[in-house]
Amino acid sequence: MPDYKPNYLLRGFAVVALVAALVLVVVVIVTTSGESGDGDNGNGGNADVSKVGRKAVRNGVWIVRTGDTLGEISIKTGIEETVLLQLNPDLDPQALQEGQRIALR
């Protein structure tokens, strides 16, 4: 029977690859759940959203932040998407940019 010599370098690489894969899975889960959790939270999340929405409506303008969508802005401000589009005829809902101003009145 031939002598078996384990390749420690290959074993070390396999462990590093496994750890990297687990870290990647955790990052994807955390990132994804953070984006979808805004509208699905209980009363605590809705209280924060309505507070932000009330301030924006009072000021009459929404400043787009990273990750904002027209649907989320509509929910946060209580203004329907169709009304937002009427108030902002040049607005492209698919190309919102951070810092962009959206009229709410």
Whether residue 80 lies inside any domain: the answer is: yes
**Euclidean distance between CA atoms 78 and 51, whole angstroms:** 11
CATH code (residue 71):
3.10.350.10
3-state SS, residue 99? coil
Quick one: pLDDT at residue 49? 54
Specify the pLDDT at position 36: 43
Which tens digit of pLDDT belongs to each residue from 65-98?
Answer: 888 899 998 888 888 999 999 999 998 989 999 8
Res. 4: pLDDT tops 70: yes
- The count of domains in the chain is 1
In a domain? residue 54 = yes
What is the residue range of 25's domain? 8-103
Give the model's confidence band at 1: pLDDT under 50 very low, under 70 low, under 90 confident, else very high: low
User: Rounded to an integer, what distance in angstroms lies between the CA atom of residue 78 and that of residue 54?
Assistant: 9
Q: Give the CA radius of gyration of the chain.
A: 23
The model carries a pTM of 0.50
- Asked if the structure places residue 61 within a domain, the reply is yes
Q: pLDDT tens-digit profile of 10-68?
A: 889 999 999 999 999 988 888 775 444 444 444 344 445 556 677 777 778 888 888 88
Quote the strand ranges of 3-100, DSSP E.
61-63
The reply to whether 25 falls in a domain is yes
- Is the residue at 43 inside a domain? yes
